């Protein structure tokens, strides 16, 4: 097997994993109304529309990371937030997990499809060994870098994890399950 065949096979495997988990994730919202997608049927603050927004943003942010390196982080002391009056950056972050007035499930899914297409295009062409330093954050050890390959594996895990969250929410709404 040549190096080109190995890389082609590796890219195909990554793309297949992304497609599989995106399909499971999207299945959880099939046939829902905007009101159902915005509902929070469990003790969690999560809603299905908010999960779609979050995964869309996650794909975009990690693809930007691959091409541009770590983004500037907002200067927020997450450990000492005054929750009665949170800073705008915190509200913006929280809104990334909510379906806001005027947002529709169809619109969120269209945005997700655009992000997925951009991710797939990047995966087809990027040097999988290209590395970027992780942003400085309490949860990232200093000096750690990730390859593009590692980012794509992380995206598969993110989508799969949130598909599980979505499945629980959907089952709570109307009993539908992705599997089983």
Take residue 36 and report the two structure tokens written for it. 């159902």
- On the question of pLDDT at 117 being above 80, the answer is yes
Please enumerate in sequence order all residues whose Cβ is within 8 A of that of 23, keeping only pairs 6 or more positions apart, or say none.
none
Fold classified for 3-174? 1.20.120
Give the number of other Cβ atoms within 10 Å of residue 177's Cβ: 11
pLDDT band at residue 138 under the 50/70/90 scheme? confident
Which pLDDT does position 180 carry in this prediction?
63
- On the question of pLDDT at 151 being above 60, the answer is yes
- On the question of pLDDT at 108 being above 90, the answer is yes
Can you give the residue ranges of every domain in the chain? 3-174
Please enumerate in sequence order all residues whose Cβ is within 8 A of that of 5, keeping only pairs 6 or more positions apart, or say none.
none
Mean pLDDT across 133-159: 92
């Amino acid at each position: 097997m040549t190096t080109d065949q190995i890389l082609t096979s590796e890219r195909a495997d990554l793309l297949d994993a992304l497609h599989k988990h995106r399909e499971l994730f999207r299945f959880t919202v099939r046939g829902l109304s905007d009101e159902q997608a915005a509902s929070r049927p469990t003790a969690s603050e999560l809603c299905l529309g908010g999960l779609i927004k979050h995964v869309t943003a996650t794909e975009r942010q990690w693809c930007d990371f691959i091409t541009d390196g770590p983004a500037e982080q907002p200067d927020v002391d997450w450990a000492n937030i005054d929750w009665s009056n949170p800073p705008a950056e915190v509200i913006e972050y929280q809104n990334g997990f909510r379906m806001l007035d005027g947002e529709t499930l169809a619109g969120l899914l269209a945005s997700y499809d655009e992000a997925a297409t951009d991710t797939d295009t990047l995966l087809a062409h990027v040097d999988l060994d290209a590395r970027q330093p992780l942003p400085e954050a309490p949860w990232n050890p200093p000096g750690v870098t990730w390859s593009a390959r590692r980012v794509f594996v992380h995206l598969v895990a993110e989508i799969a994890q949130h598909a599980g969250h979505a499945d629980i929410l959907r089952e709570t709404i109307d009993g539908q399950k992705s599997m089983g």
